[in-house]
Amino acid sequence: MLDEMVNMLWTYPQLHVDVSAIDWMIPRTEFYSYLRRLVDAGLCDQVMYGSDQMMWPDTMLYSIQTIREARFLSSEQRQDILFNNAVRFLGLETE
């Protein structure tokens, strides 16, 4: 339902998508296609890594590494997905 997700994110700019589970649940190449589509659509600022993985703590390192190793992402985009977007969304201070 990727096309629907892109349309929802374009239509509702306050909407965000969490990729902390899907990036380890599906094959890495498939996840990269999914993530690249969101980034290419100009929606990187609405993508977050929102880990609440209490049941699968061992997958967190793998899933974070998957984002870090995405060659098509810039360093800034990686930082946005892993940190900055959540800070902005939650209205947190970074000092």
> Residue 55's pLDDT is what?
62
Q: How far, in Å, CA of 58 to CA of 39, rounded?
A: 27
The mean pLDDT value of the chain amounts to: 90
Helices and strands in the chain, H and E counts: 6, 2
More confidently predicted of 86 and 93: 86
Q: How far, in Å, CA of 93 to CA of 81, rounded?
A: 17
What percent of the chain is modeled with pLDDT above 90? 68
Domain map (residue ranges) of the chain: 17-90
Q: How far, in Å, CA of 51 to CA of 47, rounded?
A: 13
Q: Quick: pLDDT tens for 9-24.
A: 999 999 999 998 888 8
Q: Quick: pLDDT tens for 63-83.
A: 889 999 999 999 999 999 999
